[in-house]
Amino acid sequence: MASSVLSSLQDLLPADRLTDDAAVLASYVHDEAEWATFGAPVALARPRTTAEVQAVVLACVRTGTPLVTRGAGTGLSGGANAVDGCVVLSTEKMTAITEINSVERLAVVQPGVVNDHLRAACAEHGLWYPPDPASAPWSTIGGNVATNAGGLCCVKYGVTRDYVLELEVVNGLGEVVRLGRRTAKGVVGYDMVGLMVGSEGTLGVVTEVTVRLRNARAPERTVVGFFDSVVDAGRAVEAIGAGGVVPSALELVDRHCLKAVDDWKNMGLSVDANVVLLGRSDTAGAAGDEEAATMLRCFEESGATFAAASTDAAEAEALFDARRLAYPALERLGPLLTEDVCVPKAAVPEMLARVEAASVRHDVLIANIAHAGDGNLHPLISTPPGDAAAQSRAQAAFRDIIADALALGGTVSGEHGVGLLKRDGLAQELSPQVVAMQRAVKAALDPHGILNPGKVL
Amino acid sequence: MASSVLSSLQDLLPADRLTDDAAVLASYVHDEAEWATFGAPVALARPRTTAEVQAVVLACVRTGTPLVTRGAGTGLSGGANAVDGCVVLSTEKMTAITEINSVERLAVVQPGVVNDHLRAACAEHGLWYPPDPASAPWSTIGGNVATNAGGLCCVKYGVTRDYVLELEVVNGLGEVVRLGRRTAKGVVGYDMVGLMVGSEGTLGVVTEVTVRLRNARAPERTVVGFFDSVVDAGRAVEAIGAGGVVPSALELVDRHCLKAVDDWKNMGLSVDANVVLLGRSDTAGAAGDEEAATMLRCFEESGATFAAASTDAAEAEALFDARRLAYPALERLGPLLTEDVCVPKAAVPEMLARVEAASVRHDVLIANIAHAGDGNLHPLISTPPGDAAAQSRAQAAFRDIIADALALGGTVSGEHGVGLLKRDGLAQELSPQVVAMQRAVKAALDPHGILNPGKVL
């Protein structure tokens, strides 16, 4: 089978789009979920056009070969990990921004366009593409679509699915189809766009994305709070929700993260606090001043040891950079097991307390970054390299955190996706009947079972 | 089959939930799409609880009986029309508002809750449920979910799907399932909530809806413009889009509509203009003032014969009431064939010109109301009662308008749904491959084919 798909691809694709060089393949076998398993692909395809993607899918259909599509490989759940005998399709050469339209406020891009590149191109037109995962400097729009990526501003502006208007997809039969529409509204047939977004390459291969844009926004105000405990910080988050403020970001970074960033980048951020909350408002005028003042008051009333509106834009940006760099900084210390639970806002203090308890109970370091404003927590379970016992304890803590999130009415994945790491969590979160409905949809749209098999379900 | 489903239901439901009285059934056989066909049901079920809905679905599964679910019956595409031998399930007794939560900003309701009732209940908590179809005083949240209803404020705030977090559904196997989640974010498995929203009762029966809420908004400013032609008004709409303003409403009402409302309600609204545009901004402070000023300038520069910011809230509200009453007012004059095309903003002037041309070409009265700001036009084709020739000409105009919308990059239904009236349009808009994907999803989730058969696809 393997050789037949390769020879089939050699017939269909220009030579520079295809390789089976083992050294090259080795860079394409997994994403950033260090704990997830991966297999050995037989080939890597790097198509440039929709027709070339279609050729790859058809070759896989005809030969019954698994197809694993990947963007930049920044995923954190193993969704893009190779399976044995698969073809890996990388969208890295599909980087065209085809259209930016100021009247309709939309952009059309190939899936390999990097998130920050699209944002920069939109800014030149006074427009803004909101979804901003911390991986934005590297991750692609196609990958963001596959995982329904979130980010920092999602607490106010929603996630990737909220911005996808239309998709061109090569479906499980190898047909090129257009799903959705360019108009502001539309209700003709089922929401196939919404179904594709977040499906992690298991229902089709996205070849073009039309995204909704917003107008460029007003400059943000930043409010900083230091807290002795994550639970105090969690109470501040709950208070902001109860106070009716919808911040444009509300991020939590703990001392483990700040210290790891300092050790790596010498940014001098380590502060006399165990937890930092970073709140932002991009509401223009007096209403924005009020939002910032309310956040400040919520910080103070929740026991902040220090709280202030930042008057120094560079200082505020440095704190947000630290938040974005926390993940790679911690990765330097050893294998990271990344959590992504999301709980109701009112449960944030309790969930943070339970994460802390899991850290103590299992004797593992758990650093915390969080999109705290929407209850999306990323406990990062760090273990020393080569310490099998610690890794086993980390996995026990991971399981406990999942169970705690579900007990508090939360979900096991807020934005990273199921991939491989959260398949057990999915089975705990969804009823068997809902899993059966999802399997029925998968079977209906991927009847040959070739699209990223073994992921999600 | 018919008698067996009836006796089965009699065993399962309290007597007051069920009737086969012909006089009662007659009120439940169609929605407000006067031109759509409908059949004769064998029974009407009005359950109060999820368990009772499940009993109805199971009785239909066991006896192979079609099940047509309806809310208030205000639909405009025939989606809730009975088919021969079906059970009609009305959600009218499921009217509980179970929860309104200020911290999580969400509400949990039964499907029969009227849209305006939910809005009023939220307002007591300083919260707001945005989707506001013109039918809001009568239509239900369940019906709004089934059709993915839009409305006036959707140009800024999105449609029903953007607000549905979680659904309880009785699926095509008669199982009670929970889809989605209460948390702000979540990516565990496929987006079954988005799939159910807008599926017009063909994939499941919704028994509980959890909706996302917003904070109550600032008072709106209204800007009024009079125009000689719909094309001038369309140019103003395009100019507002190009000017970067996202109004909180931008409605078009033509003289036919204002006159019909006057004739009915004596509101004295008929004005010396052929077309009225109503723009609104709910942005607080100086930014809102600027938005209103920009809209005013766009009106003037597009040839408005009169344009002014309204200083009289009652007068502004009367104009919006006229817009909401236009449909029932025109219904009084004879059978209405209602269009619902949605085109890109830049195509609004051309689309309005083509509607006018269709009116002349086919010699039928076409009144226009439109959610102009998002390109969603509702040409209302009016014919005298009992005039078969005029009705035939109206259908020809209807077909032409659909073809024109598609030619301009639009969709055949912006917010009313496919139901029966837009099935041909769906086949024109979607490729055969996409229709096949939709049929595959339908077959996967409704394997017995009992859920609102013959609708949408």
Domain residues for A255? 221-407
Yes or no, beta carbons of B429 and A102 under 8 Å apart: no
Note whether A247 and A194 are same-domain residues.
no
- pLDDT for B218 equals 87
For all residues of chain A together, what is the average pLDDT?
95
Note whether A37 and A74 are same-domain residues.
yes
The number of domains in chain A is 3
Note whether A167 and A185 are same-domain residues.
yes
Q: What is the dihedral of CA B398, B400, B404, B407, to 10 degrees?
A: 120
What digits encode the pLDDT tens for the residues A21-30?
999 999 999 9
Q: Is the dihedral of CA B303, B309, B312, B315 positive or negative?
A: positive
Distance from CA of B268 to the nearest CA of A (A): 33
| A43 in any annotated domain | yes
The CA R_g of chain A, rounded to the nearest whole Å, is: 22
| Residue A1 in this model has a pLDDT that exceeds 60 | no
Q: Report the Cα–Cα distance between both ends of chain A, in Å, rounded.
A: 25
Note whether B286 and B393 are same-domain residues.
yes
Note whether B28 and B162 are same-domain residues.
no
Q: How confident is the model at residue B3 (pLDDT cuts 50, 70, 90)?
A: low
The CATH number for B79's domain is 3.30.43.10
Candidates A154, A177, A197; nearest CB to B431:
A177
| A167 in any annotated domain | yes
Domain endpoint, select from A382, A407, A432:
A407
Domain endpoint, select from B215, B248, B271:
B215
Yes or no, beta carbons of A287 and B286 under 8 Å apart: no
- pLDDT for A3 equals 61
Note whether B315 and B296 are same-domain residues.
yes
The two three-digit tokens of residue A275, written as one number: 């937890």
What digits encode the pLDDT tens for the residues B383-439?
999 999 999 999 999 999 999 999 999 999 999 999 999 999 999 999 999 999 999
Note whether A255 and A369 are same-domain residues.
yes
Note whether B54 and B151 are same-domain residues.
no
Yes or no, beta carbons of B412 and A188 under 8 Å apart: yes
Count, in order, helices (H) and strands (E) of chain A: 15, 18
Q: How confident is the model at residue B130 (pLDDT cuts 50, 70, 90)?
A: very high
Q: What does the pLDDT average to over A376-389?
A: 95
| Residue A404 in this model has a pLDDT that exceeds 80 | yes
A342: which strand partners?
A: A376, A411
Q: What does the pLDDT average to over A176-200?
A: 97
Residue A392 is given by DSSP the state: H
**Half-sphere exposure for B299 (CA within 13 Å, toward CB):** 29
| B442 in any annotated domain | no
- pLDDT for A271 equals 67
Yes or no, beta carbons of A431 and B287 under 8 Å apart: no
Candidates B192, B215, B344; nearest CB to A183:
B344
| A174 in any annotated domain | yes
What digits encode the pLDDT tens for the residues A387-400?
999 999 999 999 99
Domain endpoint, select from B160, B190, B215:
B215
What digits encode the pLDDT tens for the residues B232-245?
999 999 999 888 89
Q: How confident is the model at residue B1 (pLDDT cuts 50, 70, 90)?
A: very low
Q: What is the dihedral of CA A297, A301, A307, A313, to 10 degrees?
A: -30
The strands making up B221-227's β-sheet, listed across from edge to edge, are B306-309, B221-227, B275-281, B249-254, B365-371, B376-382, B336-338
| B421 in any annotated domain | no
Q: Is residue A374 within 8 Å of residue A348, measured between CB atoms?
A: no
Distance from CA of A407 to the nearest CA of B (A): 13
Rounded CA-CA distance A153/A203 in Å is 28
Note whether A202 and A85 are same-domain residues.
no
Q: Is residue B401 within 8 Å of residue B355, measured between CB atoms?
A: yes
The two three-digit tokens of residue A156, written as one number: 């106010």
Q: Is residue B110 within 8 Å of residue B98, measured between CB atoms?
A: yes
- pLDDT for B323 equals 87
The CATH number for A197's domain is 3.30.465.10
The strands making up B204-212's β-sheet, listed across from edge to edge, are B97-101, B106-109, B204-212, B164-171, B176-180
For all residues of chain B together, what is the average pLDDT?
95
Q: What does the pLDDT average to over A194-213?
A: 98
Q: CA separation (Å) from B299 to A29, B70, B241, B255, B373?
A: 57, 41, 12, 17, 13
For chain B, percent of residues with pLDDT exceeding 70? 99
The CATH number for A394's domain is 3.40.462.40
Size of interface A-B (CB pairs under 8 A): 258
| Residue B175 in this model has a pLDDT that exceeds 70 | yes
Note whether A209 and A305 are same-domain residues.
no
Candidates A197, A344, A371; nearest CB to B191:
A197
What digits encode the pLDDT tens for the residues B155-170?
999 999 999 999 999 9
- pLDDT for A313 equals 82
What digits encode the pLDDT tens for the residues B265-307?
888 777 678 899 999 999 988 999 999 999 999 999 999 999 9
Cα A62 to chain centroid, rounded: 32
- pLDDT for A273 equals 80
Distance from CA of A67 to the nearest CA of B (A): 19
CB contacts, 8 Å: B187 with chain A:
147-148, 198, 411, 413-418
- pLDDT for B93 equals 98
Note whether B176 and B304 are same-domain residues.
no
Note whether B81 and B102 are same-domain residues.
no
